[in-house]
Amino acid sequence: MKRAICFLTLALMFLVGLSCEGFKADEREVKLIPVLNGEEYQYIDRDGKIVINPQFSVATVFRNGLALVRSTGDEPKWGFIDESGKYIKGAIYKRATVFNEGIAWVVNENEPPTAINQKGEDLFKLKQAEKVTIFSEGLAAFLEVNKNGEELWGFVDKNGNIKIQPQFFDLGHEGFKEGKCVVKNKDDKAGYIDQEGKIVINYQFDEASAFINGKSIVYLGEKAGLIDKSGTYLINPQFTEMMIDGDIVVIQQNDKYGWADKNGKILINPQFEQVRLFNNNKLAPVEIGDKWGYIDKSGKIIINPQFDIATCFNGGLAAVTSDDKTGFIDREGKYVINPQFDDVSIDYLIFNTFGSALSDEVQTDFFDVDAIVSRLQFEKPEGFDFNSKVSEMAKKYGLSNSDFGMFDDFHYLFINNEINKNADLALGIKADVYDFISWEYDLNTSPTVFGYIVNLKNKGEGKAGILIEAIKDKLKLYTDITEEKRANSEFKGFAYKTEKSKIFFVQTANDPENEVAVFISKI
């Protein structure tokens, strides 16, 4: 199942038009190949010898001399190893990207993305970023939410300075290539900017990809075409799919794949079910019927269709799969490394095919507890105190008698009041509002307890403990009576005493990981 998912993902990435970087065959030779042995990844050399023993749940190819790996176990963490298999700092990160241009992004528990160097040293943090991508041509894209709730992309340089302010509604997956980056406006139209953030090719395309060798694939509606760096069409939109493959392009026409030159002239007739790229190699994998083989640039079959899966050549080797086992063949179709592995790393396949990475962006784990704690008004909840009348509260929140249960002693004044995207707030009071002698409501009474309930969501999920510690820190000037309360009851939260009230905070029983209640009780 793992193997099937891996190669299926690769096929899907091809169909959505993820671009490669147009690398030469000898520029990106992978010397240590991550392969799956049972449930763990190991690294082998190009002769099939094990260099780093199986021990990882995820493994990438080496970039800048380091590979991103994830440990195994119930709580796996990410880390970076050198070519001897030694960690530079251990597997310590919750999230991480691969290294590119000497920098990687890492995320620790409850922290924003941090840029690190190849020694594992922190360079700077990007606190405002919801997401951040790897550096490309000196800039990394980051996503920020503005005051209006809009999610906009901008760019930061290697010193942590914002080079292009967040203003774009989406951008190309590849970042800057050849001095340009795909961006989208609020109308979901794509254009290109330069490294100053200036639009250099106007918003006009439905989809667009990075420039490779001065050319880019763009889409108008359901049709793909090819443009140059001025935005002029080299090939008018006419094909279902296109992919730059060095100096030529893959095309899809009538549900079949073939190749054309940069002017749209057919070089190899569309006739294959699926294809991979030549990637400046002499051979490319193609699917004929339900088997994969290899053709040359004239379209002649060089290695007969015989494999269940076949991939691009890398340094004279290509990964192929037969009978659920993966091995590596040479350009004559002979096995150099016999089929014996359960899979190859998906990052290897992406890198080998597209020049891209599996882990090229991270999402922040930063949880702004200060914004939540500052919303809680301990001395006078929502401007009320123990002398305030329930009728005043009912008027403020538009409540009527029917909103207060006759037999309830705890009544909600409001619920689901959003503090931010990570937390909702509710406020309730404990008060006797119904007179069972006169059988009438009496809101001319005062509360004896206020209760805030914070419901955590999104990035706040599972972080009730962090919020409780932040609340405790804010109330540390009060008298801690936690041990006293625990000694005299089954109370398991934390309690602090002031001159006018007792303040309790506990994790609610309903959802201990995501709900925190703060009760302010009259002495």
Q: What is the pLDDT of residues 190-240, one digit of tens each?
A: 999 999 999 999 999 999 999 999 999 999 999 999 999 999 999 999 999
- Provide the 10 A C-beta neighbour count for residue 58: 19
Domain boundary (336, 363, 390) is at 363
In angstroms, the CA 473 to CA 481 distance is 15
Helical H segments across 303-440, by residue range: 346-354, 369-373, 390-396
Q: Which pLDDT value is given to residue 222?
A: 95
Rg of the chain (C-alpha set):
30
Tell me which amino acid residue 35 is.
Answer: V
Looking at the structure, do residues 276 and 374 belong to the same domain, yes or no? Answer: no
Over the chain, what is the mean pLDDT?
91
In angstroms, the CA 179 to CA 201 distance is 12
How big is the chain, counted in residues?
523
Cα 35 to chain centroid distance, Å, stands at: 24
Specify whether the CB–CB gap between 228 and 236 falls below 8 A: no
Q: Is 85 exposed, middle or buried (0-12, 13-18, 19+ CB in 10 A)?
A: middle
Looking at the structure, do residues 208 and 233 belong to the same domain, yes or no? Answer: yes
Specify whether the CB–CB gap between 393 and 387 falls below 8 A: no
Q: What is the pTM of this model?
A: 0.82
Closest CA to 314 of 258, 267, 354: 354
- Helix, strand or coil, per DSSP, at residue 149: coil
Looking at the structure, do residues 382 and 359 belong to the same domain, yes or no? Answer: no
**Roughly what angle, to the nearest 10 degrees, separates helices 346-354 and 2-15?**
30
Looking at the structure, do residues 359 and 374 belong to the same domain, yes or no? Answer: no
Looking at the structure, do residues 356 and 375 belong to the same domain, yes or no? Answer: no
Both tokens of 192, joined, read: 């290109």
Check residue 197 and give left, alpha or beta (phi > 0: left; psi -120 to 50: alpha).
left
Q: Which residues have C-beta within 8 Å of that of residue 198, sequence separation ≥ 6?
A: none
Domain interval for residue 71: 2-363
In angstroms, the CA 55 to CA 73 distance is 10
Q: Which pLDDT value is given to residue 509?
A: 61
The domain that contains 309 carries what CATH number? 2.130.10
Domain boundary (328, 363, 398) is at 363
Looking at the structure, do residues 389 and 416 belong to the same domain, yes or no? Answer: yes
Both tokens of 194, joined, read: 């330069």
Residue 467 Cα distances to 29, 137, 216, 371, 460, angstroms: 48, 39, 48, 10, 9
Number of domains in the chain: 2
Mean pLDDT value across residues 61-68:
96
- How do residues 248-280 score in pLDDT, each as one tens digit? 999 999 999 999 999 999 999 999 999 999 999
Domain boundary (330, 363, 396) is at 363
Closest CA to 175 of 372, 342, 19: 19
Tell me which amino acid residue 151 is.
Answer: E
Strand order in the sheet with 325-329: 309-314, 317-322, 325-329, 335-341
Looking at the structure, do residues 306 and 386 belong to the same domain, yes or no? Answer: no
- How do residues 12-29 score in pLDDT, each as one tens digit? 333 333 334 444 444 579
Taking the alpha carbons at both ends of the chain, their separation in whole angstroms is 62
Mean pLDDT value across residues 387-414:
91
Specify whether the CB–CB gap between 285 and 275 falls below 8 A: yes
Specify whether the CB–CB gap between 365 and 459 falls below 8 A: yes
